Amino acid sequence: MSRLRRYLRDNAVPLALLSPAVLVILLVVLLPLLFSLYTSFSNYRLIRPESLWDVVWFRNYVRVLGDGDFWAALGRTVLFLTLVLNLEMLLGLGLALMVNRLTFGQRTMRTIMMFPMMFSPILVGFQFKYMFNDTIGVVNNALQSLGLTSHAIPFLVDRWLAFASIAIAEIWMSTSIFAILILAGLFAMPRDPVEAARVDGCTNWQVFRHITLPFLMPFIYIAMTIRSLDVARAYDIVDVMTGGGPAGRTELLWTLIARTAYDDSRMGQANAMAYVSILLSIFFTWYFFRKLMAARKHLGVF
Amino acid sequence: MAMTRTSLAAALAASTLLAAPLQAQDYGTFDGYTLRVKLIGGAQYEPLYTLIPEWEKATGAKVEILSRKSHFELDREMKQDIAAGNTGYCVFSSHTNFAPQYNAMNQPLNDLIPAEVVAEFSPLVIQHATVDGQLMSLPRHSDVSNMYYVKSLYEDADNKAKFKERFGYDLTPPETWDQATDQAIFFANPPDRYGTHFAGKDEAITGRFYEMLVADGGKLLNDDFTAAFNGPEGVMALNWFVNLYKEKAVPAGTTNYVWDDLGLGFAAGAVAYDLDWAGWAAFFNGKDSKIAGDVGVALAPKGAGGKRTGWSGSHSFSITQTCDNKEAAASLIMFLTSHDAQMMEARSGLLPTRTKVWDDVLAEFEAKGDTFMVEVFKVFGESMRDHAFTPPLIPEWGEISNALWPQLQAAILGDKTAEEALNEAAEEVNLIMSDAGYN
C-alpha cells in the first residue's frame, strides 16, 4: 500500500496530465464496448427499446455459431482478406519499385498514384458497379465490341466473378497505401549494402531478394496491419456493388452484421456477430505485429 | 392578347399553387415557434419543400430541417433515434409499409387531424396508413406498379404473326402473368434486348414475390403469424422468376437490379416490357428516353388466383409522441398533403392520395392534351382503387423481407429449388416471429 502511495506521489504530475486522456478513452472506447458486449447477451431490438433489458444470455452466440450463413460469410471474409492483402502488397511493391527508379516526374507520379485513395468507398463501389454491369457496363461493352464475347458476362452475379469484381474494386482503391509505405521504405534504405552486394557480383534479383526485401518487410507488415483492419470491416464497396448477394455469394461479415443490426434491427444478435469478427481482426493484427517484430529483429533493429 | 388554352391552364395552376393552400384552410398561428423535422430527400421529393416558406409565412412558425436523406438512410436513422430515445423533433417522413416499425415513437393522428380532412383522402390509402385502428401517418403520395411496354414491338405486324404462330393467341399487352412469360421469352434477343427484367435484391424482390404470391392466390403469413408463403402458390410465384431467368428472357444481372437499374434499362430500350412505378412515367416518355413516344401503359397482369399484382404503399408524414407542439406539427403535415401541394407532386407523375386531386390532375392533363399522362393516371388510378394492397402492417416486415430475398435469389440463380428456398426462408421467418413474441 505504501508502495502504491509512493508511486502515486512520485508520479502525480504525469498521472494528472494523462488522466483526462485516459478518462476520454474510457468514455469513448471502453463504455461503448462494454455496452455492446452486454447487448450481445440480450434480445435488443432497435425498434423495441424495452428489449434492451431482455437478457437471453448466450442465445445470440449459440445462434451465430450454429448459423451456416455466418460461417460462410466469415470464411469468405478471411479469403477476401488474404487475397486482397497479398495482391495489394504485390502490386504496391511493384508500383513502389517502378516509381523509385524514376528519375523524372517522380513527384507527379506519387501524386497520381494516390488518386484512388481520395475517392470515398461508396463512390468507388458505384463506379465499379456500373463498369461491371452486365448490360450497360463498359467492361461488357468493350469485350463485345472487341469481339471477345458475344454474350453479356454476369460479372456481379457469377459466384467467383462477383467475388473477383469486388476484390478488384478494393485493390484499385487501396493498392497505393502499400505503394506509398513501401516507397517510404525504399527512400529510407541505406545504399551501402546494395552497392557492396553489387561489387560482390550479386544479380539484381539477389540484391532484391536478400537486401531490399528484408529491409522493406517492416514497412510491408505495417501496411498489412493497417489494411487488414480496413479490409476486415469492408462494407461500403460490397454493399453498393452487390449488397452481399446475389444469394449470399458475396456476403462478408460486415454486410451481414449491418443488415442484421440496422435493417432487421436485431442489435443484440449483430453485436454477437461483431464480437466474433473483432476476434478475427485481433488475430490478424497480432499475426502481422509478430511478423513485423520478426522482420525488425532480422534487420537487427532490436 | 388571347391566351392559348394550355398557357391559361398553366397560369391558373400556378396561381392556385401559390395562393390557394393558405386561403383554403386556416393552418393556425404559432408565432415564434420552431418546428423541427426530418424529411426524405431526393429529386422527386424535394420540390414539395419549396412550399414550406408559405406555411411559415401563414403561421408565423419556422421549420428547421434536421435531416434530408434517402428513404433507406432515413429508416436507419429513425430506428437509431428510437433506440437512443433521440426523438426531440416533431415531424418525420414515413412510409405506410414501414410505419409499424416506428410504433415506439409514432403519435396516433386520429385526434390531431380533423375527420373531414381525413375524409378527403382515398379510403384505401387511409386504410393502409392505419395500424391497429390508429392513423399512424398522413399519406403524401402513393405508389403501385403497372405494366409499361414498348408499343412498336407490340404493333409490329411481323411480331404479331410470329407470336400467334408460336403461342396460338394474339400479341397484346399481357392480361395474365403466364402471357407475360410467353412474351418475355418471345421478345428476348440477348444481349441486345430482353423480354423484361425485375428488381432482384433487397425488399424490391421480396415485394415482387409477395405481390405475385397474392396474385396467385397465396398469402405471406397465416393467422397465427407463421409463414404461409412456402405452399404451392409460393412455389408457383417464385418459379415465375426462376423460369424467366432460366430462359434468359431477363438480363443475367437482374438479381442485382433495383429501381434505378430497371427504369434506366427500360428507357434505354433494352427490354420489351417493364413492371414499374408511376413515378417513372414522365421519364420514360421524356427527352432522355430512347423510347419516348413509344411507351404504352397497361394494368399489371393477373396471377393464377385471378388477382392482379398490386404491391403498394404511400410515402407519408408522421408526428412523434414527444413533439412539444403537436398542433403545429399537424398543421404542417396537413399543409404538405393539401390539395394544392398534391397537385404539384401529381403534375410530375407522383400518385396523389386525395380523391379530388386524381380528378383535377387528370382534367389538367386532358386540358394540356397530354394523352400519355392521361393514360398513365387512368391506369394507375384504377390500380390504386381496385388492386392495391400492402404487406402485412407489422414491425417485422423488414426482417421477413431480409429472410426471404437471399433465398429467392438462390432459387432464381439455381442454387436451390423453389421449394427448398422457400422452406428455408419459412424456417427463418418463423424464428423471427417467435422471437418477436407472436407465437
- Taking the C-alpha atoms of residue B349 and residue B364, their distance in angstroms, rounded to an integer, is 12
CB burial readout A89-114, b (16+ within 10 A) else e = bebbbebbbebbeeeeeeeebbeebe
Measured CA to CA in angstroms, residue B204 lies from A56, A126, B408 at distances of 33, 19, 11
What does the pLDDT average to over B30-58? 95
Where are the alpha helices (H) located in B196-256, listed in sequence order? 202-215, 232-246
Q: Which CATH number fits the domain that encloses residue A164?
A: 1.10.3720.10
CB < 8 Å to B398, chain A: 263-265
A171 shares a domain with A266: yes
- B53 Cα to chain A: minimum distance (Å): 33
* pLDDT recorded at residue B347: 92
A260 shares a domain with A175: yes
* pLDDT recorded at residue B43: 82
Asked if pLDDT for residue B16 goes beyond 80, the answer is no
- For A163, the domain range is 59-298
- Taking the C-alpha atoms of residue A302 and residue A283, their distance in angstroms, rounded to an integer, is 24
* pLDDT recorded at residue B160: 97
Sign of the dihedral defined by the CA atoms of residues A50, A55, A61, A66, in that order = negative
A126 shares a domain with A63: yes
**CB nearest B395 (choices: A47, A133, A157):** A47
Asked if pLDDT for residue B306 goes beyond 80, the answer is yes
Asked if pLDDT for residue B23 goes beyond 70, the answer is no
Using left for φ > 0, alpha for ψ between -120 and 50, and beta otherwise, residue B269 falls in: left
A280 shares a domain with A218: yes
* pLDDT recorded at residue B6: 37
- Taking the C-alpha atoms of residue B53 and residue B341, their distance in angstroms, rounded to an integer, is 13
**B415 — contact with chain A (CB < 8 Å)?**
yes
| All domains in chain B, ordered by first residue | 34-142+313-354+361-369 (3.40.190.10), 146-309+394-436 (3.40.190.10)
In a domain, A47, yes or no: no
* pLDDT recorded at residue B38: 97
In a domain, A48, yes or no: no
* pLDDT recorded at residue B13: 42
Asked if pLDDT for residue B15 goes beyond 50, the answer is no
Distance, C-alpha A118 to centroid of its chain: 16
Measured CA to CA in angstroms, residue B381 lies from A94, B119, B139, B177, B377 at distances of 62, 18, 16, 21, 5
The reply to whether residue A136 touches residue B268, judged by beta carbons under 8 angstroms, is: yes
* pLDDT recorded at residue A151: 85
* pLDDT recorded at residue B124: 93
Specify the 3-state DSSP secondary structure of B147. Answer: strand
What does the pLDDT average to over B168-184? 97
In a domain, A52, yes or no: no
> Which is nearest to B285 in space by CA: B300, B271, B269?
B269
What does the pLDDT average to over A250-254? 91
Q: How many domains does chain A have?
A: 2
Least confident of A116-120, B87-91, B155-159, B269-273: A116-120
Query: Is residue A57 very low, low, confident or very high in pLDDT (cuts 50, 70, 90)?
Result: very high
Sign of the dihedral defined by the CA atoms of residues A259, A261, A265, A270, in that order = positive
The residue of B79, B397, B438 whose CB has the most chain A CBs within 10 angstroms, and thus the best one to mutate to test that interface, is: B79
A37 shares a domain with A66: no
* pLDDT recorded at residue A232: 73
In a domain, A53, yes or no: no
- Taking the C-alpha atoms of residue B163 and residue B154, their distance in angstroms, rounded to an integer, is 10
> If you average pLDDT over every residue of chain B, what do you get?
92
What does the pLDDT average to over B231-258? 95
Measured CA to CA in angstroms, residue A195 lies from A212, A213, A265, B7, B352 at distances of 12, 15, 62, 85, 79
**B252 — contact with chain A (CB < 8 Å)?**
yes
CB burial readout B38-47, b (16+ within 10 A) else e = bbbbeebbee
Asked if pLDDT for residue A245 goes beyond 90, the answer is no
A146 shares a domain with A36: no
In a domain, A73, yes or no: yes
A291 shares a domain with A154: yes
Asked if pLDDT for residue B9 goes beyond 80, the answer is no
What is the share, in percent, of chain B residues with pLDDT greater than 90? Answer: 86
A181 shares a domain with A35: no
> Which is nearest to B336 in space by CA: B327, B344, B347, B326?
B344
Least confident of A46-55, A164-173, B53-62: A46-55
CB < 8 Å to B261, chain A: 133
Asked if pLDDT for residue B17 goes beyond 50, the answer is no
Beta bridge partners of B206: none
A137 shares a domain with A188: yes
The complex scores an ipTM of 0.79
CB < 8 Å to B69, chain A: none
In a domain, A89, yes or no: yes
Asked if pLDDT for residue B296 goes beyond 90, the answer is yes
Asked if pLDDT for residue B18 goes beyond 70, the answer is no
The nearest alpha carbon in chain A to B255 belongs to A246
Residue with cell 398557357: B7
CB < 8 Å to B402, chain A: 259, 263-264
What does the pLDDT average to over B341-365? 95
* pLDDT recorded at residue A282: 85
How is residue B176 annotated by DSSP? B
What does the pLDDT average to over B330-357? 96
The reply to whether residue B101 touches residue A43, judged by beta carbons under 8 angstroms, is: no
- Taking the C-alpha atoms of residue B123 and residue B139, their distance in angstroms, rounded to an integer, is 11
CB burial readout B166-176, b (16+ within 10 A) else e = eeeeebebbee
**B412 — contact with chain A (CB < 8 Å)?**
yes
In a domain, A282, yes or no: yes
A92 shares a domain with A220: yes
Measured CA to CA in angstroms, residue A183 lies from A68, A105, A174, A179, B308 at distances of 42, 15, 15, 6, 64
* pLDDT recorded at residue B285: 94
A207 shares a domain with A96: yes
Asked if pLDDT for residue B344 goes beyond 50, the answer is yes
Query: Is residue B380 very low, low, confident or very high in pLDDT (cuts 50, 70, 90)?
Result: very high
Reported as type and span, the H/E element at residue B19 is helix B5-24
Maximum CA extent, chain A: 84
In a domain, A199, yes or no: yes
Q: A270, A260 in Cβ contact below 8 A?
A: yes
Report residue B228 as a C-alpha cell.
404461409
CB < 8 Å to A267, chain B: 83
